[in-house]
C-alpha cells in the first residue's frame, strides 16, 4: 500500500524541483541578455518605458509559475496528510512573521514581510497624495492626552494626507478641536462626531470592561461616519505607530471581494478559556482577534447589513454570557466565528499587544519588524514584558516630541489648512527689515493649545456669584502651585507655557502631589512653546477664555491670596452689585523678600508685619507707581470699599466679570502687559474699587529671563516703546477722544 504513494510523492517532488530550476534559469538568462544579473536587479530602478514593459511581462510570467508551484504544493500537502489540527499552544494557522492570507498573493505577502530585512528601499505603499482615513473613539481628559501621542507617532512617519474621524464626548471634542485648530498641520483634516447621539445604539449591552460604554462605540461606525466614506483604519487611543500608516492602508488592496474587516489575531490565551478555572470567554475563531487596530471596509459592511448582523450576534450571545468582558472585541469575535469568510487576517506586527499573558514576543525578531505597538493592558507602561523598556522609550519619544516639528508640508500634495494659509499671508505682510519684526511676528503667531490637560470637574453655584482665579506660569514657577491651591479653594484656570517635554514633567509632578490630585476644580491649559519671546498675554487669554464662572480674579501665580479671599470676594460681588454695574475690584498687593513667611491670617496681622518691615507694599523699591494709586495709606484704616482713579502705569490685580476685554497680545515678555489691560478697562468706564479687607502677597523668586533682556537690550526697550505708541493710537481709534488722556499722561511721565 505504501509503495504507490511513495512513488507518487517522488514524482511530485521531482516535478516541483524541475519547475523551480527551469524558472530560475529562464529569468537569469533573460536578465543576462540585457546586461543585468537577476541577483542585482531588485535594487535597480528602471527608467525607460521599454524596461518597465519588460519587467511587467516577466512579473506576469513569474506569477504564472508561482501559481503552478502553489497547485503542486497543495497536491503534495494533501498526499502527505498535512491537514492535521495544530497543537493547543500554537497561534492557530497564523505564521508570526507572515500573513495568513490564502490565495495567489500569499507568496507576495511573505516576500513583503521579508523585505523588512532587505537592503533595498521599499516601494510606495499608497498612491502619492492618496487621502488616508483614520477613526478613533475618544472620551474624557486622559484619553485626549493619549490621542495626542498616537497622532504624533502617525504624523512623524506619514507621507500622505490624513483625515481623522473622532467619535467624542463633549470634553474630548473641546480639547481636540482646539488642539488641531491651533496645531495647523498641513494636509490634515479632522471631523468630530457626537458620541452622545450613538449611546442609544449600544447602551443596552452590559459591559464589564474599564472603557465603559465608549468601548462599544466602534460597533456603530457604519452609522456614525459619512455615507460616502468607503474604508477607514480604526485605532484604539493606546496605540503607537513605528512605521508609515500608508503601509497599513495599502493592505485594503489585498482584501478578497468578500472580506470586509482586517484584524490581527489576539496574542493572549483569553479566548482559549484556559487562563483560570471556570474562565468562560465569548466565542471566537481560534485565539480570536484583537480590535485595537481594525481595517474596516465600511462600504461593504453597509452592503451586507452590518448593523443588524452585529445586533443579532450580541443578543444571541448575551442570553448566555450576560455581559461583555472586552467590550466591542467580544462582539466582533462572536460575529467572525459565525462569518469567518469576512475577515482578512493581518500580520501580527500590525498590532503587537503588550497585555497581560501576551505572547507578542513571538511576533518580532528585530526592531524593523515592529509596525504598531498596542498598550492594551490596564497597567499601560507598567506592563510586564521582556522588551518593555524598549517599547516604553519609543512611546516616551513621541510623548515628549515637539509637536511643532510635525507641521511639515507634504511636497506635491495640496494643503487643506486654511488657518495656516492665513498665517503665512500675515507673515508675508510684515517687513523683515523692521527693527521690531520679531515682536510683531510674535503677535500673530498661533501657538498649539491643549485645554484641560488634567481631569477637570466643576459644578456651578446656585447664586451666580462664583469666581475663578485666573493666572499663567511657566516651569520655573511650578513650585507655587500647591501653595495657591491651599490658599484658594474656589475654581482655578491656569495656562502653562511649556514645551512638550515640560508638559510631561508637569503631569508627573501633578499626579504625584497629594494636594493637586485632590483638586478637580483646577483647569490646566498647556500653551506650547514656540518662538523667542514669552507670549504672556496670549497665555493669560487662554486661561481667561476657559473660565466657567461669571466672575474672574486676574492675578499672577507668584502671589498668594489671603486665606478666605474666595468667600470674601463672592460676598463683595453681591454687595457691590457687580452683575449690573461695570466695576473692577482691586485686591491690594504686598510682597516679602523672605522665602519662608509666616502668612498673616488677618488684616491686623498684615499691618503689624508691614510696620515691622517683614512686608512691603508691592514694588515699593523698584516700581512704586505701578500700585501707588491703590492708596495704601487710606487702605490701612478703610472699613468700606473706596473708588480710585486711573493713573499712568497703574497695574493692580482685579476682580471683574468674565466678559471683560482680553489682554493685548502685542505685548510679549516683560513690560506693559498688565498696564495696557487696566488702561482698556478704564477706557470702557470700569470703576476701580479697592476692597478694604482683601490682600495678596508676592513671594520671592529669581528674575525672569524676559526682564533680564529688557534691562540689557536697548533694542528690546525701543520696540516696547514703539508698541506702546501703537497701542495708544489703536485705543484712540477705538474709544475716540476719551482715550486722549492716556496719551497725555504717558507724555507727562
Instruction: Decide if 579 is inside a domain.
Output: yes
Distance CA 653, CA 646 (A): 13
Instruction: Decide if 126 is inside a domain.
Output: no
Ranking 80-94, 230-244, 599-613 by mean pLDDT, the lowest is: 80-94
Q: What is the 3 state secondary structure string of 492-528? A: EEEEEEECHHHHHHHHHHHHHCHHHHCCCCEEEEEEE
Instruction: Decide if 218 is inside a domain.
Output: yes
584/652 same-domain check: yes
Is residue 242 within 8 A of residue 153, CB to CB? The reply is: yes
Distance CA 179, CA 155 (A): 15
Q: At residue 55, does pLDDT exceed 60?
A: no
Instruction: Decide if 423 is inside a domain.
Output: no
The predicted structure's pLDDT at residue 577: 94
400/489 same-domain check: no
* Last residue within a domain, chosen from 405, 438, 460: 405
Listed residue (472, 667, 438) closest to 555, CA to CA: 472
Classify 485 as helix, strand or coil.
helix
* Last residue within a domain, chosen from 405, 428, 463: 405
Distances (CA, A) of 299 to 148, 234, 259, 567: 28, 14, 11, 58
Contacting residues for 373 by C-beta, under 8 A, at least 6 apart: 239, 240, 242, 352, 354, 391, 394, 395
334/454 same-domain check: no
348/293 same-domain check: yes
The predicted structure's pLDDT at residue 381: 65
pLDDT digits (tens, 9 = 90+) for 134-170: 999 999 999 999 999 999 999 999 999 999 999 999 9
The predicted structure's pLDDT at residue 249: 97
524/671 same-domain check: yes
Is residue 690 within 8 A of residue 644, CB to CB? The reply is: yes
Instruction: Decide if 313 is inside a domain.
Output: yes
Instruction: Decide if 525 is inside a domain.
Output: yes
Task: For residue 104, give the DSSP letter.
Answer: T
365/455 same-domain check: no
The predicted structure's pLDDT at residue 394: 86
| Cα torsion 492, 471, 642, 677: sign | negative
Range of the domain at 262: 132-405
The predicted structure's pLDDT at residue 703: 62
191/286 same-domain check: yes
Q: Read off the pLDDT of each residue in 347-376 and give the average, rounded to a whole number.
A: 81
357/454 same-domain check: no
Instruction: Decide if 123 is inside a domain.
Output: no
Distances (CA, A) of 531 to 179, 325, 440: 18, 48, 12
582/694 same-domain check: yes
Contacting residues for 319 by C-beta, under 8 A, at least 6 apart: none
Listed residue (530, 537, 473) closest to 727, CA to CA: 537
Q: At residue 509, does pLDDT exceed 50?
A: yes
The predicted structure's pLDDT at residue 90: 38
506/616 same-domain check: yes
The predicted structure's pLDDT at residue 17: 61
Q: With bands split at pLDDT 50, 70 and 90, how would you rate the model's confidence at 114?
A: very low
Average pLDDT, the chain: 83
Tell me whether strands 132-138 and 232-235 are parallel, antiparallel or unpaired.
Answer: parallel
Number of domains in the chain: 2
pLDDT digits (tens, 9 = 90+) for 289-341: 999 999 999 999 999 999 999 999 999 998 988 889 888 999 999 999 999 99
564/646 same-domain check: yes
Residue 627, domain CATH:
3.90.550.10
Distance CA 254, CA 561 (A): 65
Q: At residue 471, does pLDDT exceed 80?
A: yes
| Cα torsion 192, 195, 200, 201: sign | positive
Q: With bands split at pLDDT 50, 70 and 90, how would you rate the model's confidence at 99?
A: very low
Instruction: Name the residue with higher pLDDT: 206 or 654.
Output: 654
361/484 same-domain check: no
pLDDT digits (tens, 9 = 90+) for 694-721: 999 999 866 666 666 666 678 888 888 8
Does this model's pTM top 0.75? My answer is: yes
pLDDT digits (tens, 9 = 90+) for 543-599: 999 999 999 999 999 999 999 999 999 999 999 999 999 999 999 999 998 878 899
Q: With bands split at pLDDT 50, 70 and 90, how would you rate the model's confidence at 118?
A: very low
Distance CA 43, CA 325 (A): 49
* Last residue within a domain, chosen from 373, 405, 437: 405
Is residue 260 within 8 A of residue 304, CB to CB? The reply is: yes
Share of the chain above pLDDT 90, in %: 55
Distance CA 498, CA 448 (A): 10
Instruction: Decide if 140 is inside a domain.
Output: yes
Look up residue 72 and give its three cell numbers. Answer: 503542486
Q: At residue 621, does pLDDT exceed 90?
A: no
Amino acid at each position: 500500500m505504501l509503495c504507490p504513494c511513495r512513488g507518487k510523492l517522488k514524482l511530485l517532488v521531482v516535478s516541483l524541483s524541475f519547475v523551480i530550476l527551469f524558472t530560475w534559469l529562464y529569468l537569469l538568462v533573460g536578465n543576462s541578455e540585457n546586461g543585468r544579473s537577476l541577483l542585482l536587479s531588485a535594487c535597480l530602478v528602471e527608467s525607460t518605458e521599454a524596461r518597465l514593459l519588460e519587467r511587467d511581462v516577466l512579473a506576469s510570467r513569474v506569477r504564472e509559475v508561482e501559481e503552478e508551484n502553489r497547485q503542486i504544493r497543495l497536491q503534495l500537502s494533501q498526499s502527505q496528510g498535512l491537514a492535521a489540527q495544530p497543537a493547543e499552544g500554537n497561534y492557530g494557522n497564523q505564521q508570526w512573521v507572515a500573513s495568513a492570507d490564502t490565495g495567489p498573493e500569499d507568496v507576495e505577502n511573505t516576500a513583503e514581510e521579508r523585505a523588512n530585512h532587505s537592503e533595498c528601499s521599499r516601494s510606495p505603499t499608497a498612491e502619492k497624495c492618496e487621502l488616508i482615513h483614520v477613526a478613533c473613539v475618544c472620551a474624557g481628559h486622559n484619553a485626549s492626552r493619549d490621542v495626542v501621542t498616537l497622532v504624533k507617532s502617525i504624523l512623524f512617519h506619514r507621507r500622505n494626507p490624513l483625515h481623522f474621524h473622532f467619535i467624542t464626548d463633549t470634553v474630548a471634542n473641546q480639547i481636540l478641536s482646539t488642539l488641531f485648530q491651533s496645531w495647523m498641520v498641513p494636509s490634515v483634516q479632522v471631523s468630530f462626531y457626537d458620541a452622545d447621539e450613538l449611546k442609544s445604539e449600544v447602551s443596552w449591552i452590559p459591559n464589564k470592561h474599564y472603557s465603559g460604554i465608549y468601548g462599544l462605540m466602534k460597533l456603530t461606525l457604519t452609522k456614525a461616519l459619512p455615507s460616502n466614506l468607503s474604508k477607514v483604519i480604526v485605532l484604539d487611543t493606546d496605540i503607537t505607530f513605528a512605521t508609515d500608516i500608508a503601509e497599513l492602508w495599502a493592505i485594503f488592496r489585498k482584501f478578497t471581494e468578500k472580506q470586509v474587516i482586517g484584524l490581527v489575531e489576539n496574542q493572549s490565551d483569553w479566548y482559549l478559556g484556559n487562563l483560570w478555572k471556570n474562565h468562560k470567554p465569548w466565542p471566537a475563531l481560534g485565539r480570536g482577534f484583537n480590535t485595537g487596530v481594525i481595517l474596516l471596509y465600511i462600504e461593504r459592511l453597509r452592503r451586507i447589513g452590518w448593523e443588524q448582523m452585529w445586533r443579532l450576534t450580541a443578543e444571541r450571545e448575551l442570553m448566555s454570557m450576560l455581559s461583555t468582558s472586552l467590550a466591542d472585541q467580544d462582539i466582533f469575535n462572536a460575529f467572525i466565528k459565525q462569518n469567518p469568510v469576512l475577515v482578512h487576517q493581518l500580520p501580527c506586527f500590525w498590532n503587537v499587544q503588550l497585555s497581560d499573558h501576551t505572547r507578542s514576543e513571538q511576533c518580532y525578531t528585530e526592531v524593523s519588524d515592529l509596525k504598531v505597538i498596542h498598550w492594551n493592558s490596564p497597567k499601560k507602561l507598567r506592563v510586564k514584558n521582556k522588551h518593555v523598556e524598549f517599547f516604553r522609550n519609543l512611546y516616551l519619544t513621541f510623548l515628549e516630541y515637539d509637536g511643532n516639528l510635525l507641521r511639515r508640508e507634504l511636497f506635491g500634495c495640496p494643503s487643506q489648512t486654511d488657518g495656516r494659509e492665513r498665517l503665512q499671508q500675515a507673515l508675508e505682510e510684515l517687513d523683515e527689515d523692521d527693527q521690531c519684526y520679531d515682536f510683531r511676528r510674535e503677535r500673530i503667531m498661533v501657538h498649539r493649545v491643549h485645554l484641560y490637560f488634567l481631569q477637570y470637574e466643576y459644578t456651578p453655584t446656585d447664586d451666580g456669584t462664583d469666581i475663578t482665579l485666573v493666572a499663567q506660569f511657566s516651569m520655573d514657577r511650578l513650585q507655587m502651585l500647591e501653595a495657591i491651591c491651599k490658599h484658594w479653594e474656589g475654581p482655578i484656570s491656569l495656562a502653562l507655557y511649556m514645551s512638550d517635554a515640560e508638559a510631561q514633567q508637569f503631569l508627573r509632578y501633578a499626579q504625584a502631589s497629594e494636594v493637586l490630585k485632590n483638586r478637580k476644580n483646577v483647569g490646566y491649559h498647556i500653551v506650547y512653546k514656540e518662538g523667542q519671546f514669552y507670549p504672556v498675554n496670549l497665555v493669560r487669554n487662554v486661561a481667561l477664555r476657559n473660565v466657567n464662572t461669571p466672575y474672574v480674579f486676574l492675578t499672577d501665580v507668584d502671589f498668594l491670596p489671603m486665606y478666605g479671599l474666595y468667600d470674601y470676594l463672592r460676598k463683595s460681588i453681591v454687595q457691590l452689585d457687580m452683575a449690573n454695574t461695570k466695576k473692577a475690584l482691586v485686591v491690594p498687593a504686598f510682597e516679602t523678600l523672605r522665602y519662608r513667611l509666616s502668612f498673616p491670617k488677618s488684616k491686623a496681622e498684615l499691618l503689624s508685619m508691614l510696620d515691622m518691615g517683614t512686608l512691603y507694599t508691592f514694588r515699593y523699591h523698584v516700581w512704586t507707581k505701578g500700585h501707588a494709586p491703590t492708596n495704601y495709606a487710606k487702605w490701612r484704616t478703610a472699613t468700606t470699599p473706596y473708588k480710585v482713579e486711573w493713573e499712568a502705569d497703574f497695574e493692580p490685580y482685579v476682580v471683574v466679570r468674565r466678559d471683560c476685554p482680553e489682554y493685548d497680545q502685542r505685548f510679549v515678555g516683560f513690560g506693559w502687559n498688565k498696564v495696557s489691560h487696566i488702561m482698556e478697562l478704564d477706557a470702557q468706564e470700569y470703576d476701580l474699587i479697592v476692597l478694604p479687607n482683601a490682600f495678596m502677597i508676592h513671594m520671592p523668586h529669581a528674575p525672569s529671563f524676559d526682564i533680564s533682556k529688557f534691562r540689557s537690550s536697548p533694542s528690546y526697550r525701543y520696540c516696547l516703546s514703539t508698541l506702546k505708541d501703537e497701542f495708544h493710537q489703536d485705543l484712540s481709534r477705538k474709544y475716540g477722544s476719551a482715550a486722549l488722556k492716556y496719551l497725555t499722561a504717558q507724555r507727562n511721565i
